[in-house]
Every structure is written in C-alpha cells, then in structure tokens.
Amino acid sequence: MKTTTLVWSILGAAALAWGGVGCAGAESRDDSGSGDTAGETGEMSEEALTQAVGSAAFLPKGNARSILRGAALFFFEFPGVKGNGRACATCHRPEDAFGLSPASAEALYRKTNGRDPLFKPIDADDGKNDYTSLRTKGLIRVTLKLPPNVHLADDPAATSVTVLRGVPPVLNIGLTAPYQQDGRQPNLESQALGALHDHSQIQREPGARLLSDVAEFQKVLFSSPGMYLVARALEKGETPPDPDPPLNALEQEGKTLFTNKCSSLCHSGATGTGSNIGFGQAQNLFVSGPRPPEVPFGFKPSTLPVRPYIFTLPDGSIAPCPLTQKKEPCPSTDPGVALISGKIEDFNSFDIPQLRGLRFTAPYFHDNSAATLEEMLQHYTALMEFLNAVGAPGIPHLPPSDYPAMLAYLKKM
C-alpha cells in the first residue's frame, strides 16, 4: 500500500542518493534574487530527489511540487540568504532520524577535521574552539533573550543567556506543534526562520514560499506508515487509527504498561504530546540540574554549567525558588520554558515530546543526558518514587520488573 513519501527510504545514508550532501554539510550557493523563489540549485535534479524520497505519485496530491522544493531546501543551503554554509540537514541528519547523535558528530569531526559546517563557533563550540559538548553529547549552544523580569545573579547586566541542548528529531514533526524544546516557535515556518537566523547566520531574509516549502517537506517525515495514517486522519477530522504494528505478547504487555503509567500522565492523545496532570504542555522532569537530593535519579547528574536565575514578580519582589521555596536566586543548567515565559512556575519545564520512533533518536531528554532507553526508564522510576515521596497525587510506580515489557514496546513504537 502506498502511504507516504519518505517513511523508511530516507532514514539512512542511502536516502541521500545524490552524493551525501546533506550528511556532509550543505552545498553553499549565492543567488542574487530576493529569495521569493526556490531558484535553480544546480546541485540536485528532481530525478535524483525523486529517487531518494519516492516518486511524485507517492506525494499527497496538490502539494507534491512544494514538498520536492522543500526537500531541496532542507538538504542544501537556502538560496540568496547569504548564510554560513549550513542547511537544515547539517544538524537534522537522516542517519539519526533527522536529529543529531553524539556518534555522528564525532565521526563527522574526525572525517572533516572539524571543517564541516556543523562546527561553527556561533553555537557548536564550548569556547576557545573546544567542541567537547557537541562531540561527546551532541549538544549545541542555544542563546535566548532573557524575559524582562528574569536576571542572572552572577551577571545582572546580561540580557541573554546561553544553554546547551540536543537537536530535536524531525520525524512526525507535523504533529507536534509548538516547536523547540521550550515551545517558543508556534509553527514550522517560524521554526525554520529562527534556525536560519540563530544557526545559519543569514544576512538576507528568505521568501515566504521557501519557508512554506521546507515546512511542507518536514510534514511528510514519519517514523512509520502508521503515523502517516494518524496524520492524514487528523487532517480530515477523523478518529485516528492505532499506529502500532502487530505486537507480540511481551510488546502488548508493554503497551498496556505504557498506557497506564505514561499516557495516563503525559504522553496522551493521538500525537502522544498531551498532559493529563494539570500542568499544561510543559513538564518538569527534574532533568535540569541541580536535582533534588532526596532520590538518586537514573543517570548521573548533569555536568553542564549551572547559572543562578532571579525571577521578579509583578510587585517587584523575588519569586521563591522552587528548589528551596525561598526568595533567592534559583540555580539551573537550563530553566527551559521559564526562559520564554518569564514565569517561575515554568522553571526547568520543557515541552512534552512525542515518542514515536523513539528507538531511532537516542540519546534522550533536552540535554541528551539519558544515553539509552534503559537509562530513561531508570530516571522515570526514580522520578515517580520522588513524586510519591512528596505526596504528589496519582503518580504510579515503575519498578524495574516492568522494564522488559516496556522496552519491548518502546522499541516497536
């Protein structure tokens, strides 16, 4: 059955049949036009692109040409923007399910001696041309403007702050708005434009059609045919089908455990991004350091830099730090959504991701601190025990005896 343009054929290096351009870094070009059209790339023919992503007959009717143009934009530098040589695929790599793994970053660094466009000082190094965080953890620097009521206790005059985050995978992205781990981008067009400014250092604005085209391409990237069918059903306002493939007994047991212990709290709904515990789309999973000392969490505490943040309330007073309940600076490796909203109640919270295709997208969490699915489950076990210990209502337990079945299902999603 013909279902989607991309599904599996594009998930590996073979997907880049035109010579691995997206994997090795963008091909730079400089069109003199305004950026209102895709332009002639001279780098990728439609025939080669079709070979990589499927024939136009597989594309949704009505926007196949836009998707094909968007694919070229994804794998090559945007025309006419005068950027730094990066493309979307520089960081969102097909072999990593359109994310970025530490292993890929390290291999690329060794292969190119650090000359690939991925290794730009604007966001890839740790200072003084040291790329340790990118090469060992797959982390890039993200610089955010501080809200007016948020200040750094160790640098009161600062108007921005830099945090280290992993590259979010693109699979199923059409179902997961808002975008970025702090939810700061409302749609794929604004997400692409933000990335062009923040990571590609563009000097010219791209035309609206270019942004629309690359968004259309991303909307046909799915982790499985089942997720494609979910997306199409949601578009039509229909009840989405179960996207799972046939499951064996152990996998079915894991699905039941996941439904009762994970979907019941956060990963609910057809897209797996809903929250049922009253705190909205963003959640604090106690991944950002420093963590509460009461419970040993599943993997080693973050070694990323900790900064002290001061949140000022409308009356001018300092907001109590959630970690101490005292009106004092609150330390964090990354306050997450609070850096966008300015709300202390969002401290250390992050947008709930969808989990389909999880087996392709290690490592996990916003700072890539869980190397494996097993470490991720260990963290949730400790987190749930901590929440139960402090009296949070409705929190289940996740004992290690649940792991075999849960892992079997997570690796099949």
What's the CATH number of domain 249-283+351-410, 3.30.450.20, 1.20.1050.10, 1.10.760.10, 1.20.120.160? Answer: 1.10.760.10
Give first-to-last CA distance, the chain, whole Å.
Answer: 20
- The tokens for 78 are 């945007």
Cα separation of 17 and 72, whole Å?
Answer: 13
Give the pLDDT score at 9: 40
Residue type, 144: L
Identify the CATH number of the domain defined by range 1-98+169-242: 1.10.760.10
Q: Write down the pLDDT at residue 47.
A: 64
What phi, psi does 236 have (nearest 5°)?
-90, 0
Both structure tokens of 178: 């808002």
d(CA 140, CA 181): 13
Nearest to 116 by CA among 100, 137, 98: 100
Separation between Cα atoms, residue 307 and residue 318, nearest integer Å: 16
Per-residue model confidence as pLDDT tens for the chain (413 residues): 333 334 334 333 323 333 333 333 333 333 333 333 334 443 455 565 555 554 333 455 567 778 888 888 998 899 999 999 999 999 999 888 889 999 999 999 999 999 999 999 999 999 878 899 999 999 999 999 999 999 999 999 999 999 999 999 988 888 888 899 999 999 999 999 999 999 999 999 999 999 999 999 898 888 888 888 888 898 889 999 999 999 999 999 999 999 888 876 777 776 766 544 444 577 888 999 998 776 677 777 788 999 999 999 999 999 999 988 999 999 999 999 999 999 999 999 998 888 888 898 999 999 999 999 999 999 999 989 988 988 888 889 999 999 999 999 999 98
24-34 as b/e: b if 16+ CB within 10 A: bbbbebebeee
The runs of H, that is alpha helices, within 219-263 are 225-235, 249-258
Nearest in space to 380 (alpha carbons), one of 403, 361, 357, 363: 403
**pTM listed for this prediction:** 0.86
In whole angstroms, give the CA distance from residue 170 to residue 63. Answer: 20
403 vs 377: CA distance, rounded Å: 7
Q: To which residue do tokens 């750094």 refer? A: 152
Which residue, 3, 183, 198, is CA-closest to 88?
Answer: 198
Between vectors from CA 242 to CA 239 and to CA 245, what angle results, nearest 5°?
155
Q: What is the CA radius of gyration of the chain?
A: 22
Length of the chain equals 413
Q: Which helix (H) or strand (E) holds 327?
A: none
Phi, psi of 410 (to 5 degrees): -60, -35
- Distant-in-sequence, close-in-space partners of 236: CB < 8 Å, separation ≥ 6: none
How many CA atoms does the CB half-sphere of 128 hold within 13 Å? 0
**Alpha-carbon distances, residue 88 vs 91, 92, 168, 192 (angstroms):** 6, 6, 12, 8
Question: What are the start and end residues of each CATH 1.10.760.10 domain in the chain?
Answer: 1-98+169-242, 249-283+351-410
> Minimal CA–CA distance to 354: which of 141, 59, 144, 97?
97
What tokens does 354 get?
């969808």
294's tokens:
């009461």
Instruction: Specify the DSSP element, H or E, that contains 145.
Output: strand 139-145
